[in-house]
């Protein structure tokens, strides 16, 4: 038997999660049965969507239940196997939860090539965030060369990849981020213009840097920044609704966009999507992004916090406090 420490949901938070939201427990796992394998987890993904999974409401995934292991994508190594497709030593990724060890039957688990990129990158640019950026731009945003593309939360895991993908496609790319350090980094990786929402008027600055309007807006934050983007659309614009991190911890329902009539005026469209919507396109997307990483056209950056699974709760708060640049990952081994 293998002893594992794991993080479970102790109670549903009201507003920002705190120490009372989580419980840490140690349990013994049996040896894997036929068709199963044991994974030693080394990195845990921290994602804004986690906050939504804590709410007991109908959504695209069932909420995490009280007492359940917290849902999370991870990377790890197979250390024992009775599965024909997974051998001891294989590096893998999958949604196995915030735990030191996990047993899987292979459902939703993929092998990864750590010679192409390290485990943290397989949770970032080559994982769910990178695929989110890729599918959002191509499938929903219908991005084409010459477009002016605006991206909010541009220094985050999804936004930083989206901006670089748009630049590689031949677009003019404008990012919105918070603070001089993040804005400077975005310029370093190829963004044409960057707006510091903490120190600049986003609506005014956007009209200065995109006087003819924007063709694609990749929205990760919602709120006032979404309204600023809607006020500066070009005819036929596409607004990609990926997330609304500015409202995830609100205790009351956030107001909707005030400028939605811009969609009518500019014959634009606004569409939401999930990364899970395009599974048949994942392999090609990962191959293309791997080539961009190898050629230096895509910089994969991770903020890696080291510690045990007990650091999960505090590390998650970092997402909503802006501590990370690029992908936020907890390294537990």
What CATH number is attached to the domain comprising 22?
Answer: 3.90.180.10
Within this chain, do residues 72 and 147 fall inside the same structural domain, yes or no?
no
Q: Is residue 258 part of a domain?
A: yes
Q: 45 is written with which tokens? A: 């993904």
Pairwise CA distance, residues 313 & 326, whole Å: 19
In 10 A of CB 108, how many CB atoms? 11
Q: 193 is written with which tokens? A: 């213009």
Q: 283 φ, ψ to 5°? A: -60, -45
Say yes or no to pLDDT of 253 above 80: no
Q: How confident is the model at residue 236 (pLDDT cuts 50, 70, 90)?
A: very high
Pairwise CA distance, residues 31 & 46, whole Å: 28
Contact 40, 333 (CB under 8 A): yes
Q: 27 is written with which tokens? A: 């349990």
Q: 99 is written with which tokens? A: 């735990």
**What average pLDDT score do residues 107-120 get?**
96
Q: How many CA atoms lie within 13 A of 184 on its CB side?
A: 3
Q: 184 is written with which tokens? A: 């400077």
pLDDT of residue 138: 98
Structural domain tally of the chain? 2
CA atoms 194, 275, 241, 178: torsion sign: negative
Say yes or no to pLDDT of 139 above 80: yes
pLDDT of residue 256: 86
- Residue 186: CATH number of its domain: 3.40.50.720
pLDDT of residue 254: 78
Number of residues written out for the chain: 333
Cβ neighbourhood burial of 265 (10 Å; 0-12, 13-18, 19+): exposed
Contact 129, 157 (CB under 8 A): yes
46-105 pLDDT per residue, tens: 999 999 999 999 999 999 999 999 999 999 999 999 999 999 999 999 999 999 999 999
Domain range for 39: 2-124+301-331
Q: 292 is written with which tokens? A: 């961009």
Q: How many CA atoms lie within 13 A of 181 on its CB side?
A: 6
Within this chain, do residues 42 and 108 fall inside the same structural domain, yes or no?
yes
178 Cβ neighbours under 8 A, 6+ residues apart: 155, 196, 197, 198, 322
Q: Is residue 283 part of a domain?
A: no
Within this chain, do residues 66 and 191 fall inside the same structural domain, yes or no?
no
Average model confidence (pLDDT) across the chain? 96
Q: Is residue 267 part of a domain?
A: yes
Q: Is residue 284 part of a domain?
A: no
Pairwise CA distance, residues 245 & 9, whole Å: 21
Within this chain, do residues 63 and 149 fall inside the same structural domain, yes or no?
no
195-229 pLDDT per residue, tens: 999 999 999 999 999 999 999 999 999 999 999 99
Which strands form 233-241's sheet, in the order they lie side by side? 193-196, 172-177, 148-151, 214-219, 233-241, 269-272
**What average pLDDT score do residues 170-180 get?**
98
Q: Is residue 84 part of a domain?
A: yes
pLDDT of residue 246: 78
Within this chain, do residues 132 and 271 fall inside the same structural domain, yes or no?
yes
pLDDT of residue 20: 97
pTM of the model: 0.94
């Amino acid at each position: 038997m293998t002893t594992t420490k794991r993080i479970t949901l102790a109670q549903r938070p009201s507003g920002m999660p705190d120490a009372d939201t989580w419980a840490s427990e140690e349990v013994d796992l049996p040896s894997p049965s036929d068709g199963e394998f044991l994974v030693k987890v080394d990195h845990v993904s921290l994602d804004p969507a986690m906050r939504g999974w804590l709410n007991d409401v109908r959504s695209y995934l069932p909420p995490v239940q009280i007492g359940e292991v917290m849902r999370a994508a991870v990377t790890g190594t197979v250390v024992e196997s009775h599965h024909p497709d997974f051998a001891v030593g294989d590096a893998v990724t999958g949604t196995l939860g915030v735990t030191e060890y996990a047993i899987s039957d292979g459902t939703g688990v993929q092998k990864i090539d750590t010679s192409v990129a390290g485990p943290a990158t397989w949770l970032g640019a080559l994982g769910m965030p990178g695929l989110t950026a890729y599918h959002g731009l191509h499938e929903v945003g219908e991005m084409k060369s010459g477009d002016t593309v605006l991206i909010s939360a541009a220094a985050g895991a999804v936004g930083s990849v989206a901006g670089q993908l748009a630049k590689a496609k031949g677009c003019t790319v404008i990012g919105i981020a918070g603070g001089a350090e993040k804005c400077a980094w975005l310029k370093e990786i190829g963004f044409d213009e960057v707006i510091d929402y903490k120190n600049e008027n986003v609506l005014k600055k956007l009209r200065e840097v995109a006087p003819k309007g924007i063709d694609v807006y990749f929205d990760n934050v919602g709120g006032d920044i979404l309204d600023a983007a809607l006020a500066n659309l070009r005819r036929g614009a596409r607004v990609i609704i990926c997330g609304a991190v500015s409202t995830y911890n609100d205790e009351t329902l956030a107001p909707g966009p005030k400028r939605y009539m811009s969609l009518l005026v500019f014959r634009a469209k606004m569409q939401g999507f999930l990364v899970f919507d395009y599974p048949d396109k994942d392999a090609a997307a990962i191959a293309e992004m791997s080539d961009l990483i190898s050629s230096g056209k895509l910089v994969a950056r991770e903020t890696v916090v080291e510690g045990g699974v007990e650091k999960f709760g505090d590390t998650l708060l970092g997402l909503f406090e802006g501590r990370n640049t690029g992908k936020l990952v907890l390294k537990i081994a």
